[in-house]
Every structure is written in structure tokens, then in C-alpha cells.
């Protein structure tokens, strides 16, 4: 599943530094308000310790974790919705992603200029939210005009669309994102077709100081409070430290993390949280050629999960043979799991669980 998250934020909040560290994309972006016009795209592994645990019992040639596509969208400035800076271009890139990572600066550093000349994360969030809401208002306005014309002829779909658009417009007029509104399944379907930016899920990334790696400082707490009010979450990341870690080899990285009392880079937690934000989880396949995490939406059935490997697997699905990591740890091998009667045969209606280790039987 090629799902994408877009990194947004004001210029100079550490967006590109975090993107480069996430994708280990080499040299860090220069400290310019407009570092990039076209978005950079990177593929980020979603760290999962369960893959290595499976490998302790099943030897393999390679291990392939789940992955996310991450798009680095150039800094949005006040007035972007009216084309200020390179606004329109940036906004069109955001429309194409599935969710947003909103990077907010919560560190003080006189050497790194802030586009507003002071560090205030809530003002910065409001600036971005306002620009995105204004861009959505334009989309909603033009769609509403068209839908009202169609509704006059008694078109039922257009009438339903008008109601949804009016609901969205009233909320956007208050500068609030559409994601805070409640919609039923039919209304959500209408909204999806509009590609509204503020309807997308958001994860706040607080770019913290090296002395506040866990994000306990006052500025980050403000972001946590904001996220809580929105029913969202925050991942504290020190962009400077993560950039340094990304350039080290595995042994040196482990040593540096240990010296700082950290178990893993903050970006590992960020990748996992972004994965969860998109409503995704993983099942595993394991054999001598590869142990692999496959990405599926939460709630996917066994045939749908099989289809992620190959469409033929879904079309000719017979059954799935499934066991758990706990079964593997207890019995040490698949043959022993079968002998103990723990290998489950599941049919077409089975809803996959996170971490299922699976073999698919199919006939095409």
C-alpha cells in the first residue's frame, strides 16, 4: 500500500532536517525559508522488533519491514492560501497525501531565525491551520456553487452534497479544520471526493531542544495540550540529534543512543505513530527467502490481506493458515505449532489481527 504522509510546517522549523533524517537522505537542507519547490519523496521503514524475533526461530535471506512514503512539502508562510511565497504549489502537494505530519518548533536558538521572529508553537499551528482552512474554503465555495445549481433540478446526490458542504463551510469560516467535525459514512464519501486538506488526520511533531528529548518543556506541553483538545497526539523529536544519528553506522548509533539513555531514535516512534494514524497495521509472512511485514488497513479480511501480496491471491483465495508470535516463541518451529494444533485455518470472513503470521492457500 503506497500510502503517503506529508511533512508540513512554517519555514525553518526543522521540517527538512527531520525529513532527511527520516529517509537518511544525505546532506541536510540549507537554512533557507524556501529550501525546496518540488517536494522530496522518501520511503521510511516502520521499525518492528517482532521481525527480528521471528528471525530467531525462522532463518531467512532477508527481512523486509513495512514502509511509508514521506513527502517533504516546502514551508508554508502566512498568505500561502492566496499564493504568497509558493503557496498554491505547496497546497496542491498537500492535497495528494493521506495524512499530515505537522512539524512545530519548540526550541529556542538565536542562530536559527524564525519566520515570525519569535518562537510560539500555538501561533505557528494557527498560522498553518488558517492557511489550510482558507484554501479549503475556496474549494468548498466553488463546489457549493456548482452543487446548488445541480440541486435545483432535484438531483439527490447534489442535494446531499450541498448539506455536507454547508456544514464544512460553517466550520472552516471559524478557522477550524474539517477533521474536527463528525460525519456519517455517506458524508465522508462526499468529503473524500473533495480532497479537503483540513479533513486529513494530523500528527504533531514537536522539534525539541537537545536538553528536552522527551518533550517535557513548557513549549512542547502547549503543543500536547492543543493535540489533546483535537483528539490527536504529539511525538517529540530533536531534529538536530536525529540528523546526527542518521549519519552514523549501526554500531555507533547504538552507542550514542545508549550514552543518552535512549532505546531507539525518536524517528522510530514517529514512523510507527504515523502508521497508526493512517489506520494501518501489519501481518507477517515468514520463510527461507524473506520475513516480511505487509501493510493492511485495520479491519481488512484475509482475502484482502492476501491481495496485498498479489491480486491472484485474493481472487483465488481458499484459506489462510495463521499462528501468532507467542505460538512461535513457545513451540520454536512451524512444524511444532502444527503438531500442537495451534495453526489455525481461517476463511474468507476472517478479520486479520496485527502480527498474524500467515500462509495463504489459493487456486487461480
Q: Under a CB-based contact definition with an 8 Å cutoff, are residues 239 and 28 in contact?
A: no
Please tell me the predicted confidence (pLDDT) of residue 333.
96
What is the separation, in whole angstroms, between the first and last Cα of the chain? 23
What CATH number should be reported for the domain whose range is 299-362?
A: 3.10.20.30
Q: Under a CB-based contact definition with an 8 Å cutoff, are residues 144 and 166 in contact?
A: yes
Per-residue pLDDT of the chain (364 residues), as tens digits, is 567 899 998 888 888 888 888 876 333 233 323 333 355 788 888 888 899 999 999 999 999 998 888 888 866 666 655 655 544 556 677 888 899 999 999 998 877 767 777 889 999 999 888 888 888 998 899 899 999 999 999 888 889 999 999 999 998 998 788 998 888 888 888 888 888 999 999 999 999 999 999 999 999 999 999 999 988 899 999 999 998 988 888 889 889 999 998 888 888 888 889 888 899 999 999 999 999 999 999 999 999 999 999 999 999 999 999 999 999 999 999 999 999 999 999 999 999 999 999 999 999 8
Q: Which CATH class is domain 4-277?
A: alpha beta
Distance CA 31, CA 14 (A): 9
Helix (H, G, I), strand (E, B) or coil at 320: strand
Residue ranges, comma separated, of all CATH 3.40.50.300 domains in the chain are 4-277
Nearest to 73 by CA among 131, 9, 1, 163: 9
Amino acid at each position: 500500500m503506497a500510502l503517503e504522509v506529508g511533512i508540513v510546517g512554517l519555514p525553518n522549523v526543522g521540517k527538512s532536517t527531520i525529513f532527511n533524517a527520516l529517509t537518511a537522505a544525505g546532506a541536510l537542507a540549507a537554512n533557507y525559508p524556501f529550501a525546496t519547490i518540488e517536494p522530496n519523496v522518501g520511503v521510511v521503514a516502520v521499525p518492528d522488533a517482532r521481525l527480528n524475533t521471528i528471525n530467531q526461530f525462522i532463518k531467512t535471506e532477508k527481512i523486509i519491514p513495512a514502509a511509508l512514503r514521506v513527502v517533504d512539502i516546502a514551508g508554508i508562510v502566512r498568505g500561502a492560501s492566496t499564493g504568497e511565497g509558493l503557496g498554491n504549489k505547496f497546497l496542491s502537494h498537500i492535497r495528494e497525501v493521506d495524512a499530515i505530519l505537522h512539524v512545530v518548533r519548540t526550541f529556542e536558538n538565536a542562530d536559527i531565525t524564525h519566520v515570525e521572529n519569535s518562537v510560539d508553537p500555538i501561533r505557528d499551528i494557527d498560522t498553518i491551520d488558517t492557511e489550510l482552512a482558507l484554501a479549503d474554503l475556496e474549494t468548498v465555495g466553488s463546489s457549493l456553487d456548482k452543487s446548488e445549481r445541480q440541486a435545483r433540478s432535484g438531483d439527490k446526490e447534489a442535494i446531499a452534497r450541498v448539506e455536507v458542504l454547508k456544514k464544512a463551510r460553517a466550520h472552516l469560516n471559524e478557522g477550524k479544520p474539517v477533521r474536527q467535525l463528525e460525519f456519517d459514512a455517506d458524508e465522508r464519501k462526499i468529503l473524500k471526493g473533495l480532497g479537503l486538506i483540513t479533513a486529513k488526520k494530523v500528527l504533531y511533531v514537536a522539534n525539541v531542544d537537545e536538553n528536552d528529548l522527551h518533550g517535557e518543556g513548557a513549549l512542547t506541553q502547549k503543543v500536547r495540550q492543543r493535540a489533546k483538545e483535537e483528539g490527536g497526539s504529539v511525538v517529540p523529536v530533536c531534529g538536530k540529534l536525529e540528523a546526527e544519528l542518521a549519519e552514523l553506522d549501526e554500531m555507533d548509533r547504538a552507542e550514542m543512543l545508549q550514552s543518552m539513555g535512549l532505546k531507539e531514535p525518536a524517528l522510530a516512534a514517529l514512523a510507527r505513530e504515523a502508521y497508526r494514524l493512517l489506520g494501518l497495521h501489519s501481518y507477517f509472512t515468514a520463510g527461507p527467502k524473506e520475513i516480511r511485514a505487509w501493510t493492511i488497513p485495520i479491519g481488512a479480511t484475509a482475502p484482502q490481506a492476501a491481495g496485498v501480496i498479489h491480486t491472484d491471491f485474493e481472487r483465488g483465495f481458499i484459506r489462510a493458515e495463521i499462528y501468532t508470535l507467542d505460538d512461535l516463541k513457545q513451540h520454536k518451529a512451524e512444524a511444532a505449532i502444527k503438531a500442537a494444533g495451534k495453526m489455525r485455518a481461517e476463511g474468507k470472513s476472517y478479520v486479520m489481527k496485527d502480527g498474524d503470521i500467515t500462509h495463504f492457500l489459493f487456486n487461480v
